[in-house]
Structure formats: C-alpha cells, structure tokens
C-alpha cells in the first residue's frame, strides 16, 4: 500500500509498504481522509522528537474493509462498507491511568513496539474499540474531525464549563474555532481573542458573542464591560504566544478557571504570582488528548450536525502533495489541511 513515511525531520517520503493484516479483535479500514494536525507538524519540523521511520497521522476517517472473527461476535454495527471515524492514538487499557478513567494520559501510548498513528497510509488495522461508525450522511472529510473535536470536549470538561457561563477563547486558529463550536453546544456565551482580522471574522460568523483584537483593543476592559465588571468565568488558551497566556489571566474573573490547551516549544512561566491565584481562587489546569467517552461524544456532535467542520477544511491534498500540505498547515492562512487518500 501507499503511505507517507516520515524518515527524519523535514523528510517525508511516499513509499510502498506492506498492507496491514488483522487479528481476531481487529478491523481493517481503508482510509479516506486524515487531518494534518499540530502533532504531525511538530514531528515533521523536528520540534517533537520521535522514532523514525513512522507513518504519522491520527485524525482519520475511512471505510471498513475487513473484520476479525471475534469482532463479528462482539459488534453488529460494523461490517465491510461501514463508514467510520478512527481513534488512532491507542491506549493500553492496563496502566494506572487507563484503569482510572484517564486513558488520555496512558503511559504506553507511544512506546516502542506499539502500532501507532498511521493515518498517512492507505490502510490501517486497529482494535475494534478504536472504530466509531458514523452516519453515511456525514461526509468522511468531516468525520476526520472527530479526534480534534474530542480534544476540545475534554478541554472544556476540565474547566467544568456550565450552561450560560462566559468563556474566553484565546486564539482563533483551528482548535480555537472547534472550541467555539463545542462551547456553543454547552450553552456558553463566547468571547474570542486573536490579532488576525480574518480569523476574528470567521469566529464572528461561527457565532462568537464578541471578537477582540488584543493588539488594538483593551481586552480586560472589554471583557469586564460585558460581564458586569467581573471578567469571564472560564478561559481556554489555544495559542502558544506568550501574550495569549497573559490575556487569560488578565481576563478571567475571581473564582474563574483557565485551561492551558496549547503546548509550548519552550518552558513558559505563568504570567502571575501564587498570591494572585490564592486570593482570586483561580484554578489553572491543562488538558492532554481525550478519552474514549470524549471521542464518542465528538462523533455524535458531528453526526447530529451540532458541530460544523466543513468550514474548517482549507485544503485537500493528494499523496504527491503531502509535504506541501504539511507546510501549508504550518501557516496562519489555513485551518485544517486534509490528506485526501484518493485524490490524484
């Protein structure tokens, strides 16, 4: 089969590799789309150290081709031809975190010897528990958004976002936009901050209550003006810019919650002091990945039309354009670039 193989930082090759074989509890899926996420961008650039060679890609969708014998007994919702979203960051199910409901922190996700990622290949064999059927009415290009939407669900659960609360999203890139869509499903009034005019326009069109350019406007003052002088109840930081983190602490009300969703290339200190957190009772957390429950909820939101991913598809590239697609995904001009496995 054809696959995009990362052989070293900034070197991805289209190779013919063995088509995977399945065991009794596995499902073979012919992949149709895979998003080029920040994880793949970091792997390609070399900012994230990884073992090579590796087939990247973890935001994938496709069509079931073959089902293991045990799967036929366990599940009646899977058969050849079923359209599915795939959870390609596999968890062991046996470590402390998996057994306590925090499988997103699984200790064995990327260990040597494990079958990992693989969304940049034509086929992927996975455990049946990683396969989530989707309605045939949901285009598979949009089904590929299940994984990042699930991460946003996990993120907003971490700050316990509640009905009718005020939420600030710092950064209107692809993850900021997906947080906006999920936050609306959870009944929040949402403020979005970003210095990019086009991204603010897109956030406004997607339903943001108020968009703010922090480079030209007084973000804390605007937030207080719309929240009876308090600031927002909750905040998610999706931008790695240092000023983004400063905005979070400046705009969050006493008793508020901040989730640092983004990751950083360097160690970044919190732009506040312990006494401020103590006196204002601000809770600061982070979120990493998602659990199986989050993934299922993401699939349902997409299938039910509660989250509209079509507007976030900036480009679709064939295997021959994969490297160019990765580079395009690393710019601020795109939201999500998809590898289209069947494009020429």
Q: Please report, for the domain that includes residue 336, its CATH number.
A: 3.90.180.10
Is residue 252 included in any domain, yes or no?
Answer: yes
Number of domains in the chain: 2
Q: What is the mean pLDDT of residues 247-266?
A: 94
pLDDT greater than 80 at residue 15: yes
**Res 286: pLDDT:** 97
Residues 96 and 174 in one domain: no
pLDDT greater than 90 at residue 265: no
pLDDT digits (tens, 9 = 90+) for 201-253: 999 999 999 999 999 999 999 999 999 999 999 999 999 988 899 999 999 99
Q: Structure pTM?
A: 0.95
Q: What percent of the chain has pLDDT over 90?
A: 91
Residues 165 and 141 in one domain: no
Q: How would residue 112 be classed by pLDDT, with cut points 50, 70 and 90? A: low
Q: What is the mean pLDDT of residues 143-169?
A: 98
Q: Give the pair of three-digit tokens for residue 263.
A: 């990751």
Residues 15 and 105 in one domain: yes
Residues 322 and 243 in one domain: no
Residues 242 and 137 in one domain: no
Is residue 184 included in any domain, yes or no?
Answer: yes
Residues 189 and 125 in one domain: no
pLDDT digits (tens, 9 = 90+) for 22-70: 999 999 999 999 999 999 999 999 888 888 899 999 999 999 999 999 9
**Res 114: pLDDT:** 64
Residues 25 and 128 in one domain: yes
Q: Which domain holds residue 270?
A: 158-286
Is residue 298 included in any domain, yes or no?
Answer: no
Residues 27 and 105 in one domain: yes
Is residue 199 included in any domain, yes or no?
Answer: yes
Residues 140 and 270 in one domain: no
Residues 91 and 134 in one domain: yes
CATH number of the structural domain spanning residue 269:
3.40.50.720
Is residue 152 included in any domain, yes or no?
Answer: no
pLDDT digits (tens, 9 = 90+) for 288-297: 999 999 999 9
Q: What is the mean pLDDT of residues 256-274?
A: 92
Is residue 292 included in any domain, yes or no?
Answer: no
Residues 179 and 278 in one domain: yes
**Res 104: pLDDT:** 95
**Res 135: pLDDT:** 95
**Res 32: pLDDT:** 98
Residues 138 and 17 in one domain: yes
pLDDT greater than 80 at residue 113: no
pLDDT greater than 80 at residue 280: yes
Q: Tell me the average pLDDT of the chain.
A: 95
């Amino acid at each position: 089969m054809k696959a995009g193989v990362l052989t070293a930082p900034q070197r991805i090759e289209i190779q013919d590799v063995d088509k995977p074989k399945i065991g009794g509890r596995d499902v073979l899926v012919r992949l149709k789309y895979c998003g080029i996420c920040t994880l793949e961008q970091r792997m390609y650039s070399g900012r994230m150290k990884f073992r090579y060679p590796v087939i990247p890609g973890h935001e994938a969708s496709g069509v079931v081709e073959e089902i293991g014998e045990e799967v036929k007994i366990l599940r009646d919702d899977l058969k050849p031809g079923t359209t599915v979203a795939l959870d390609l960051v596999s968890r062991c199910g046996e470590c402390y975190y998996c057994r306590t409901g925090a499988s997103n922190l699984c200790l064995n996700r990327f260990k040597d010897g494990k079958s990992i990622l693989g969304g940049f290949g034509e086929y992927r064999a996975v455990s049946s528990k990683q396969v989530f059927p989707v309605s045939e009415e949901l285009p598979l290009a949009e089904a590929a958004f299940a994984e990042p939407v699930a991460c946003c669900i996990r993120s907003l659960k971490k700050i316990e976002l509640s009905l009718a609360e005020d939420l600030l999203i710092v950064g209107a890139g692809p993850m900021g936009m997906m947080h906006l869509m999920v936050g609306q499903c959870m009944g929040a009034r949402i403020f979005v901050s970003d210095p990019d005019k086009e991204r603010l326009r897109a956030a406004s069109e997607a339903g943001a209550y108020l968009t703010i350019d922090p480079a030209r406007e007084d973000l804390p003052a605007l937030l207080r003006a719309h929240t009876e002088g308090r600031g927002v109840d909750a905040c998610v930081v999706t931008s790695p810019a240092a000023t983004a983190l400063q905005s979070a602490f400046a705009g969050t009300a006493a008793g508020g919650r901040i989730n640092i969703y983004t990751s950083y290339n360097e160690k970044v200190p919190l732009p506040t002091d312990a006494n401020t957190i103590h006196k204002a009772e601000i809770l600061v957390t982070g979120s990493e990945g998602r659990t199986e429950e989050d993934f299922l909820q993401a699939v349902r939101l997409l299938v039910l039309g509660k989250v509209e991913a079509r507007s976030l598809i900036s480009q679709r590239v064939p295997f021959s354009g994969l490297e160019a697609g990765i580079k395009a995904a690393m710019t601020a001009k795109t939201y999500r670039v998809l590898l289209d496995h069947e494009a020429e």
